[in-house]
Chains A and B, each alone.
Chain A
Amino acid sequence: MSECVFCRAAKGEIPADVVYEDERIFAFLDQNPVGAGHIIVMPKEHFPILEQIPDDIVGELFSVANRLSTAVFETLGAHGTNLLLMNGPAAGQKAPHAMLNLIPRFNGDGLDFSWKTKKLSEEEMSTVELQIKEHQPVIGLAEEKKGPVAQPQEPDQVGEGEGEENYLIRQIRRIP
């Protein structure tokens, strides 16, 4: 049975340069970093996208990443750090296992995560505001109707029985 390579790394079946791990979180150096000290922080449990990660693990994930930022500042003498979670292929997600990038920054490192800004009219802004409010963000909305998210046979299949999150997966995949 094929299994997500990141799940296997978290179990120690594949070697990794581990920076920190506990029962729920696994942090290791990216073998193909965008910059020196690039750390991947991820839940040990398999979740394809952010919206499927239970709130307590989301909190744990970013709490660990934030504290690792301090370790990066102190140990590597970084001048800054970036946290980047690319959620969905259109956002740059390449792996089937949701993960967070912690990237140390140094003056002159040649990295640039800046974007070109778009100019929206007042009307466009108001339209967007109303659209979002029609789906008002609420913590715990899509929560915990679990059903364990079954360890997928193929890495990018979704667990069953969670209509809300299936919708989000389809949205992200945009299968025509």
Chain B
Amino acid sequence: MEGDGSGMQPSPEEEAEAQRKNCIFCHIISGQVQSKRIYEDESCVGILDINPANPGHVLLLPREHHAIMPQMADPDVRHLFVAAKAISASLLKALGAEGTDIFVANGTTAGQKAPHVMIHIIPRKKGDGIAAFDAKPKKAAPAELAAIAARLRPHAYRMMGKEPPAEKALGEAASPVPPQPTTMDAEFTEEKDTSDGMDGKDRKDGKGDDATVGLDDIAKVLFR
């Protein structure tokens, strides 16, 4: 699929093709670039990270190129984590690890370093000096939690193809949160409706069009 050369914005397909050509992890998967492969099947490949957090740090890569996990087909996501579980079990046995961290970063803001979906499976031992996942939690105000949950619920249920439950059926929620502005509201901006003709082709699960707009933006902008 070639562009028409008129200088118009490349299509998502063209963007994806350009990413694939330049993606070192696609080259590793195809064998063009060397790696230490410790697992593979029809849909994913597990390699040793050459810059590991700990010895045995595995990168588990879907064979199909996607920039971020929400763009993957759902069956592939499920399979990927079933493979991650098997690899985790193997690391515990093979290396005497005392635990494993399973970590995914979607977007550079989240720490994603390369434009190919990957799961980090990091073997851990007490005193290994890895502080990456020691983030300090902070108590949240109940009213703010209730407000965030109320915002998320309808979208969450729709993502699962279900109708959100009637709000009054959720007995655990606090009494209705008055619509006061909170610091949370100040930080979050609503998704703009930026219909630009993208038709959600990347989303194999056929979920709504507007979902793709935000995800493709994140994937494109961050991985030119």
Contact = CB atoms under 8 A, between A and B. Distances in A.
Contact of B85 (A51, A69, A86, A116): A51
Contacts of B95: 128, 131-132
A63 B77 contact: yes
Contacts of A168: 89, 92-93
Interface residues of B, number: 102
A137 B156 contact: no
Interface in A113-127: 113-120, 124-126
Given A51-B85, A118-B52, A128-B56, A84 B102 contact: yes
B170 A18 contact: yes
Classify chain A: how many residues form its interface, as a range.
35 or more
Contact of A106 (B82, B149, B187): B187
A73 B126 CA distance: 34
B211 interface: yes
A70 B159 contact: yes
Interface string B37-61: 0110100001010111111101000
B109 A75 contact: no
Contacts of A145: none
A116 B128 CA distance: 11
Interface stretch (B6-14, B15-23, B134-142): B134-142
B160 to A, nearest CB: 6
Nearest to B128: A90
A68 B215 contact: no
22 contacts: A12-B172, A17-B145, A17-B172, A30-B137, A31-B142, A51-B88, A51-B89, A51-B92, A58-B81, A67-B156, A67-B159, A69-B106, A72-B152, A73-B215, A74-B210, A82-B110, A84-B103, A84-B104, A88-B99, A117-B53, A131-B95, A139-B41
Given A62-B81, A83-B104, 12 more contacts: A19-B156, A20-B156, A34-B135, A70-B215, A73-B191, A80-B112, A83-B103, A88-B99, A90-B99, A90-B126, A92-B124, A132-B38
- Report the 10 A-B pairs with minimum CB-CB distance, sorted nearest first: A88-B99, A80-B107, A59-B78, A80-B110, A91-B99, A80-B109, A90-B98, A32-B137, A17-B149, A90-B99
